[in-house]
Amino acid sequence: MGPKNAMTAANLRSAYGGESMAHMRYLIWSDIAEKEGFPNTAKLLRAISYSEWAHARNHFTVLGGDIGDQLVASGAVFGLGKTMDNLTGGFMGEEFEIDQMYPVYLQTAEFQGEKGAARTFGWALEAEKIHARLFHEAHDAAKSGKDIGVDSFYICNICGHTATGSAPGQCPVCKAGRDAYKEF
């Protein structure tokens, strides 16, 4: 069963659209980073793309089983440039989600008693905070022509939580076990 409230349903569709596009955009930018000789940044973009996939899947799942076309409005960053510019687009998009989109969607879902939506919005919000920080780190490195100094990333396939260096024994966000983490 999907959400009972039209506004939360619209927010879920919009967030699904935004995450779907972020998933694709980061894969495109990953190829650019690879070609520019930033293998760790390319890996970071692939890992975060997977995290956005988990968010899109969760939002879609909470929407439930009503089959039918919907026109979806969602914010998305556009632009294809050098990795340094693409990373700027990366943290801009993440910061919009952290500062505006997810807090409002989350509070609306809580107000409307939409537990499933509140959970998927809350999980995404936590992951986006880490994404923004990592994009800033990669951007700072790229400004001086360097690659980010982290070469292993772990994504929780339940909630999208993003770890570096090693996978935690338990996801701090959704409490899934270490097995839930996919390594990049």
Residue ranges that bind Fe ion, judged by CB under 5 A: 94, 128, 131, 156, 158-159, 161, 171, 173-174, 176
Report, in Å, the least distance between residue 173 CB and Fe ion. 5
- Between 112 and 167, name the residue whose CB sits nearer to Fe ion: 167
- Between 55 and 112, name the residue whose CB sits nearer to Fe ion: 55
Report, in Å, the least distance between residue 168 CB and Fe ion. 9
Rounded distance, CA 59 to CA 117, Å?
7
- Between 117 and 173, name the residue whose CB sits nearer to Fe ion: 173
- Between 109 and 171, name the residue whose CB sits nearer to Fe ion: 171
Residue with tokens 């801009």: 92
Rounded to 5°, the CA angle 136-137-143 comes to 85
| DSSP letter, residue 5 | S
Alpha helices by DSSP H, the chain: 6-35, 39-63, 83-96, 102-111, 115-143
Tell me if residue 177 falls in helix, strand or coil.
strand
Report, in Å, the least distance between residue 153 CB and Fe ion. 13
Report, in Å, the least distance between residue 31 CB and Fe ion. 18
